[in-house]
Amino acid sequence: ALFHPSLFFLSSFFGSGSNTRWLHPWLGVVLLASFAILFIQMVRYNFWTKADTKWMGHIGEVMSGREENLPEIGKYNGAQKIVFWLMTLLILVLFGTGIVIWYEYFGASFTIDQQRLGHIVHALAAVAMLLVVIVHIYAGFYVRGTISAMTEGKVTGGWAFRHHRLWLRQEARKGVIDERQAPPRRHSAGPAE
């Protein structure tokens, strides 16, 4: 509603345009605080590894469902880690530029030119975040079983074996799950044994 006049009807979800304008910066503060909690919980799983680089090099195989030759990966794959770090960066940019353009509290602290630049960067970061979210949602629907994993917090042993085998093995070593429940590795068609 704040981005373009054609979307102003969305402000009715908050009662009016003035309510939307008043709430928007405070929702930004809530976004930063809630994401900070998520960041603290998840950052340890999102450091880049050589396996992530190799996995990303085979993204075509991932997209076509041929994941047999990919390296074993942990709780998150390279694409998921990119989403995590992009969201971290974009939320920080949105918050920083939001402070610059929050006239009520910080208007006197920044020049008009800084505020104009803040508006442009804030809008571009919002568009980039929207695109990241759209791709993330699409990927969730694209990989069967992912939506239930995100909404229920559980995956089957077979799903974990196929997509996050290293994580499955780590969980089995910790005794969280029994690795024997995962399906055996599929053999390619070849001579009868």
16-32 exposure pattern, b = at least 16 Cβ within 10 A, e = fewer: eeeebeeeebeebeeeb
Name every residue whose Cβ is closer than 8 Å to that of residue 159 and which is 6 or more positions away in sequence: 145, 149
CA-to-CA distance for 52 and 56, rounded, in angstroms? 6
- 136, 163, 164, 187: the catalytic one is 136
Q: Answer yes or no: 24 catalytic.
A: no
* Residues 125/28, Cβ–Cβ less than 8 Å: no
- Catalytically active residues are 136
